[in-house]
């Protein structure tokens, strides 16, 4: 299955972009409502699961049934740069698992840290909903960190580097549009972190988009994204 289910006609491309808009909307809005609801755990986690698990699953099912994309279109395959080799795929996973956290730290040092003002104080970090370390909270802490890192890694890559790549098309101008739009939208959903995080996440978006173009498969990016978020949630708070 190396080709799309069908060519994306303009009406179907518009429908796919509308589906993407629905997927992105909660990620844009949660910067406004998370600071207001995170102190009410049942409400926060209900909305979190609905918007980061239930909604993406429904949108994926809708897109597949409407034949807007198939798994190959999104990058859910094991081919690396067009090559079907299980050893190459496994090696790429390992490389991304270690390389992405290192790359992320370089981007933070370059684009985030130099732009932090003295009064920098975002109203919400996801580490605020992670249980503290301790013998009575250890298992729950691990579960929460795994859930947040896994949903962010999988859903964000599927939407920003999977669906958007397919929606922009394979022409050279579609490729330029993909890098530009996906990185801009990835930055926008982190607006609550202020200008420093907008700049940093835009840089991350560009790097991950280029990785998607070079690697082809989405799985290495998902694993790398998971490792980055897992590190920050477990160590520094993000």
- The residues spanned by each domain of the chain are 10-236
Strand partners, 216: 80
The pLDDT score that the predictor gives to residue 118 is: 87
102-123 residue pLDDT tens: 999 999 999 999 999 988 888 8
Question: Do 186 and 202 meet the contact criterion of CB atoms below 8 Å apart?
Answer: yes
Q: For residues 225 and 156, give the distance between their C-alpha atoms in angstroms, rounded to a whole number.
A: 9
Distances from the Cα of 188 to the Cα of 53, 58, 80, 106, 172, angstroms = 20, 23, 29, 21, 24
- pLDDT tens digits along 176-227: 999 999 999 999 999 999 999 999 999 999 999 999 999 999 999 999 999 9
Query: What is the value of pTM for the model shown?
Result: 0.94
pLDDT at position 16 over 50 = yes
Average pLDDT over residues 73-88: 97
Task: Identify the three-state secondary structure at position 3.
Answer: coil
- CB atoms inside a 10 Å sphere around CB 233: 23
Q: Residues near 121 by Cβ (< 8 Å), separated by ≥ 6?
A: none
Q: CB burial class (10 A; 0-12, 13-18, 19+) of residue 70?
A: middle
Per-residue pLDDT at 237 exceeds 80: no
DSSP 106-140: HHIIIIIGGG--TT---S--GGGGSPPSSTTTHHH
Rounded mean pLDDT, 155-161 = 98
d(CA 18, CA 11) in angstroms, rounded, equals 11
Distance CA 13, CA 5 (A): 13
The mean pLDDT of the chain is 94
| Confidence at residue 6, expressed as pLDDT on a 0 to 100 scale | 62
- The pLDDT tens digits of the residues spanning 20-54 come to 999 999 999 999 999 999 999 999 999 999 999 99
Judge contact between 188 and 89, C-beta under 8 A.
no
Give the whole-angstrom CA distance, residue 109 versus residue 115.
10
Asked if 101 and 227 touch (Cβ cutoff 8 Å), the reply is: yes
């Amino acid at each position: 299955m190396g080709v799309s289910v069908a060519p994306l006609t303009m009406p179907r491309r518009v429908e796919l972009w509308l589906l993407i808009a629905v997927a992105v909307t909660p990620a844009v809005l949660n910067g406004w409502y998370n600071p207001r609801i995170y102190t009410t755990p049942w409400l926060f986690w209900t909305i979190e699961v609905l918007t980061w698990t239930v909604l993406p699953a429904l949108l994926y099912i809708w897109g597949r049934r409407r034949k807007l994309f198939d798994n190959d279109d999104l990058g859910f395959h094991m081919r690396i740069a067009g090559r079907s080799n299980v050893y190459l795929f496994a090696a790429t996973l390992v490389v991304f698992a270690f390389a992405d956290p290192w790359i992320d730290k370089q981007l933070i040092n370059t684009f985030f840290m130099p732009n932090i003002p003295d009064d920098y104080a975002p109203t919400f970090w996801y580490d605020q909903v992670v249980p503290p370390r301790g013998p009575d909270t250890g298992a729950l802490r691990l579960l929460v960190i795994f859930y947040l890192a896994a949903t962010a890694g999988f859903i964000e890559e599927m939407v920003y580097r999977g669906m958007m790549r397919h929606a922009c098309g394979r022409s050279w101008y579609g490729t330029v549009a993909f890098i530009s739009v996906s990185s801009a939208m990835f930055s926008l959903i982190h607006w609550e972190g202020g200008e420093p995080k907008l700049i940093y996440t835009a840089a991350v978006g560009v790097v991950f988009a280029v990785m998607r173009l070079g690697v082809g498969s989405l799985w290495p990016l998902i694993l790398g994204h998971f490792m980055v978020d897992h590190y920050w949630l477990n160590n520094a708070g993000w």
